[in-house]
Structures are given as C-alpha cells and as structure tokens.
C-alpha cells in the first residue's frame, strides 16, 4: 500500500469502526492520534460497533467459534461503507482477512506477554483456583502446575480484575493493563519461556477496504515495519496450524538486527499434559511461521495431538 501524501487528506474525516469497551476505545483513540499526527488537518470519528462476542459475554469464546467473534461486525462496518477503517486487537483477527479487506497497518506493538493478577505463580497455594478464558493459558499453566484448578473468565478488563476477590489469580494480557494504566495490579508478568503468548498479542491492526488507496495509504503512514514482520510471521503460523483461540496454541516472533525473524511456537493438549514447542528463523516472516507449524505438526507429533483436541 503506497502511503498517502499528507496533503491528500488534510481537512478530510476518516471514520474508524471499533468495539465500545474501554480497551477497544483506547486502541481506536491511539490510532486516531497517530493518524492525526501523520496527516495534519485530518479529522477522525469513531463508529461504535457491538459484536457477537460482546453480546454473549457469558459464553466461553471457544464455544462461539473462537477467533473472529470480536471482529466480524467491526469489519463489516468497513465493507458496507459505514466506516472507512477498523481498529482491532490483532490477536482477535482470524488468520485470513475477509474478501474485500486489507490489513493496512500494524502500529508499534505493546508488551506481548501475559500477566497474573492476585498472586505470583510460585506463591499460588496447592490446588489454587485460576480464572482464565483462554485454553492456551490454561494448558500451559496446567503443564507447569498440574495441581491448579481453573474457572472461566470473560468480560472487559474491569470485570476480569473484579474476579480476583473470588479466586486466587486471574490471567490477562499485560498490554491491556498497561494501556488502561493498571500496571499496579500486576503480581507477575510471565516470560515467554513460561507462557507463549497468543498470536499477535499486544499488537493493533488497522483494516481498510481493498483497493482504497487513499484511506489505505493514510493508514500505511502509521505502520511499523518490525511489528508487521512479527505479526505476519505469527499469523502465518496460526494459519498453518489451522486454529485460533479455541485451540491451545501460541507464537511469538522477534525481528533480528540482520532483518530475519525468529519465531517460537507452542501447541498443547487441552489438559496441558503435553506441551510442544518449536522455533525457526528466516528472512521471510511467513515462511518462518509456517516452518514452526510444520515442526510442531510433523516432527513433534502435533498433528495427532490436534486430532485429539478437536
């Protein structure tokens, strides 16, 4: 996507579709600020969309089909012309974009790690109860601590943090707490060696209509190359695995100083008894992501593991 010239949109208004949660609004406002900084005189309006994931807050995400439940209606607002752009948490996106839409930008990524609120991992008592809505998190924690018990967790960040009074700990994305100024609630940030993050966790994605050079070019002005390389590698991994947040898998990619990308991937059984890890490095982010999935599925027996999960 060729970046637009700043003068092309001076005085114009771009409509950004977003969910209405405090975190989603923060994300949309952040992208709005970046766009205004990149294009002096640009005006931005937010279009609030309620998704199926928002309406069914009492149902586990994987029971609703997993990845995509928080983005479908937001993307449709762009497709139908109700909005010009959409801002998503990149981790909520399916591995393939809907026909007619492009991912025009990935702004600077926040910390991709997961965080425990309420108690550190080592301090959790035997048989402690942990709240999480993620099978990825549950599987990895169960592998580390088979004694732990788990309950489901849904809702916005405030709702999730309120559950700390009922359980020993909750697990949330560290980036979400940072963005909402809630870092003081963190008991422990979990390293990727302990818990591999969800694909694209901590990253934002700006989506526009395919072929809309004017809007897509403006969005490209806020794209960060290192974030794009990492997210593209992780999404390629997810596409090759063929799963989303309904299955226990994760990946984290890191661009190197030489321009290559190192990708680490994880695939687990639902009960956490088996956790497989593999890594790959290459100059082509997508190829590196696919290679990690191949290692997990073929070399380490993950294909059979997935059949058992599904």
Q: Catalytic amino acids?
A: 92
DSSP line for 115-133 = EEESS-TTTSPTT-EEE-S
State the Cα–Cα distance between residues 241 and 68, nearest whole angstrom. 16
State the Cα–Cα distance between residues 27 and 20, nearest whole angstrom. 10
For the packed helices 22-38 and 213-220, what is the interaxial angle rounded to 10 degrees?
100
Name the token pair of 60.
């586990």
| 230 alpha carbon, distance to own chain's centre | 12
Phi, psi at 52, each rounded to 5°? -65, -35
Q: Helices in the chain by DSSP H: which ranges?
A: 22-38, 52-55, 72-79, 135-144, 157-162, 174-179, 213-220, 225-241, 285-294, 302-309
Burial class of residue 257, CB neighbours in 10 A (0-12, 13-18, 19+): exposed
Angle, CA 24 vertex, CA 56 and CA 253 arms, to 5°? 100
Name the token pair of 204.
């934002």
Name the token pair of 140.
């990895």
Name the token pair of 212.
């809309």
Nearest to 201 by CA among 171, 222, 181, 221: 171
State the Cα–Cα distance between residues 310 and 307, nearest whole angstrom. 5
Asked if residues 130 and 163 have their Cβ atoms less than 8 Å apart, the reply is no
Nearest to 85 by CA among 264, 221, 231: 221
């Amino acid at each position: 996507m060729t970046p637009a010239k700043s003068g092309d949109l001076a005085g114009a208004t771009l409509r950004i579709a977003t969910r209405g949660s405090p975190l989603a609004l923060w994300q949309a406002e952040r992208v709005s600020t970046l766009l205004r900084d990149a294009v002096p005189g640009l005006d931005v309006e937010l279009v609030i969309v309620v998704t199926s994931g928002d309406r069914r807050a009492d149902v586990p995400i994987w029971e609703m089909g997993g990845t995509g439940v928080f983005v479908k209606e937001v993307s449709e607002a762009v497709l139908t012309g109700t909005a010009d752009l959409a801002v998503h948490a990149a981790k909520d996106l399916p591995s393939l974009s809907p026909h007619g839409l492009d991912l025009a930008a990935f702004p600077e990524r926040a910390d991709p790690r997961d965080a425990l609120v309420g108690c550190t991992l080592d301090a959790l008592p035997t048989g402690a109860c942990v709240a999480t809505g993620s099978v990825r998190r549950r599987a990895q924690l169960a592998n580390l601590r088979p004694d732990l018990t788990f309950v489901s967790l849904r809702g916005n960040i405030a709702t999730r943090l309120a559950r700390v009074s009922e359980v020993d700990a909750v697990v949330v994305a560290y980036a979400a707490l940072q963005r909402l100024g809630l870092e003081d609630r963190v008991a422990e940030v979990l390293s990727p060696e302990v818990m591999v993050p969800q694909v694209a966790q901590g990253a934002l994605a700006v989506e526009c209509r395919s072929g809309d050079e004017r809007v897509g070019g403006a969005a490209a002005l806020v794209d960060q190359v290192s974030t794009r390389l990492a997210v593209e590698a992780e999404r390629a991994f997810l596409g090759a695995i063929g799963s989303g947040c309904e299955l226990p898998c994760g990946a984290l990619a890191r661009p190197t100083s030489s321009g290559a990308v190192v990708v680490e991937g994880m695939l687990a059984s639902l009960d956490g008894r088996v956790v497989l890890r593999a890594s790959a490095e290459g100059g082509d982010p997508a190829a590196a992501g696919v290679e990690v999935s191949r290692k997990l599925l073929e070399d380490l027996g993950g294909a059979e593991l997935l059949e058992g999960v599904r």
